[in-house]
Amino acid sequence: MKQKLWIVTTVADSLDSLIEGQPEFLNQHFDVTIVSSLSDKLPNVAEREGVGWQAVKMRRTISPFHDLVSIWHMFRLLRKNQPDIIQSYTPKAGLVTMLSGRLARVPRRVHGVVGMPLMEARGTRRLLMKLAEQFTYFNATALTSNSFGLRDFVHTNLTKKIVTVIGNGSINGVDVDHYNRANFDSDVRTGLGISELNTVFVYVGRLVPDKGIVELVEAFVELANSHFDVDLLLVGEQEEALSSLPTKTREQMAGSDRIHELGWHHDVRPYLAAANVFILPSYREGLPNSVIEAGAMSLPSIVTDINGCNEVITEGVNGFLIPIKNSQLLLLSMSEIMNGGIDLGTLGNAARHQVVEFYNRHFLWQKILDFYQDLGGAPNHCR
């Protein structure tokens, strides 16, 4: 009989996008169940992956009463089903799952740190988030991080427990055959009326301030004032309820016919294939999937010099590093590309080579499997 492995995130969107394919692979060795707040997406993801599913309502925001309700429901599920390993990702899922798992005596409780919202939090909110993280780590039997820089931050500021980086980092790696520009044609430019001669920058992710969208839009608007042959693709959704963009930024986005706000798309390859350069001016990251996906599609990147990003991008080799929250230096980097003299093809080839060598999905999946097996007992061990 296979051991039971439960993978938990706060919302099903994370299961859908962050670890696509991984539950299906692990299900060959474990009896895998995915868990998140109930939505139409949760059973669809479970069906795609060929695994079981359970629903526990969890709120992404700080909400003590609702969090206690979530912990109680998770505890009851865990006691009833008795998984051997529980793996949580995202802060709220970690808090709920690690405590519930300890109370339910789940023997192996793993929390994966894939981002750190408290890095940008201030005051009382930062203190509460720090305490929540530390409480999560206290109740976990093992901790992982998807980047070396994030591992070091956690170990320095939050816990003295060992934090493991699996493989070379990343939560899921990249399918380098699926993300391959050589095998992919895009008609995005035609559909948007963008000339093949234009330089296209692309951003993929949530359209929120912490991702540097304010600085990106400000820099691009100024760039477009001096260059007629440039466009910006924004692939992602705004989050009005949790982290809305300033009014000025939204007006700039709506007022420019060269900023193309395209919404969320499960398959981002057409937009990467339509672009020349990827941009992620984020304030904080673990190790961003979007940068390694762009690299696999032979795109050089402009990213902020923060942990995760600076583990993937080497200045002048496969992209460029800029300070956080600095629209003028972002503008300077974009302008240098527009003014010529930079061989984007060479940088793009280096980007793909680096992703193929270090972030191949199948390599990482095997390392994740090895990690779970090394927690104790072979995966086919009976209860």
Confidence of residue 116 (pLDDT cuts 50, 70, 90): confident
Contacts for 8 with CB less than 8 Å, ≥ 6 apart: 34, 35, 36, 56, 86, 87, 88, 89, 93, 96, 97
The answer on pLDDT for 377 being more than 70 is no
Write the CA distances from 82 to 30, 85, 142, 363, integer angstroms. 14, 9, 18, 30
β 85-89/52-55 pair status: unpaired
Q: Which pLDDT tens digit goes with each residue over 176-206?
A: 999 999 888 889 999 999 999 999 999 999 9
Residue 93 has a pLDDT of: 95
Q: What is the pLDDT of residues 54-90, one digit of tens each?
A: 999 998 877 888 999 999 999 999 999 999 999 999 9
According to the model, what pLDDT value does residue 378 have?
40
Give the C-alpha separation, 129 to 126, whole Å: 5
Given this model, what pLDDT does residue 241 score?
67
Calculate mean pLDDT across residues 142-165: 95
Confidence of residue 379 (pLDDT cuts 50, 70, 90): very low
Spell out where 146-280 has E strands.
163-165, 199-204, 230-235, 259-263, 277-280
Cβ proximity of 312 and 291 under 8 Å: yes
Whole-angstrom CA distances from 207 to 112, 236, 292, 333 are 24, 6, 19, 21
- Is pTM, for the whole model, over 0.85? yes
DSSP 121-132: --HHHHHHHHHH
Nearest to 24 by CA among 42, 47, 3, 4: 47
Q: Are 268 and 299 in contact (CB under 8 A)?
A: no
Pairing of the two strands 108-113 and 142-145: parallel
Q: In the predicted model, is pLDDT for residue 340 greater than 90?
A: no
CA dihedral over 11, 9, 17, 317, signed as positive or negative: positive
For 222-261, give the DSSP string: HHHHH-SSEEEEEEB-BBTTTBPPPHHHHHHHHH-TTEEE
Spatial separation of the C-alpha atoms in residues 21 and 45, rounded to whole Å: 10
SS3 content of the chain, % helix, strand, coil (to 5): 45, 20, 35
User: What amino acid is encoded at 66 in this protein?
Assistant: H
Nearest alpha carbon to residue 270 among 233, 229, 226:
233
What are the structural domains, with CATH classification, of the chain?
4-173+361-374 (3.40.50.2000), 181-358 (3.40.50.2000)
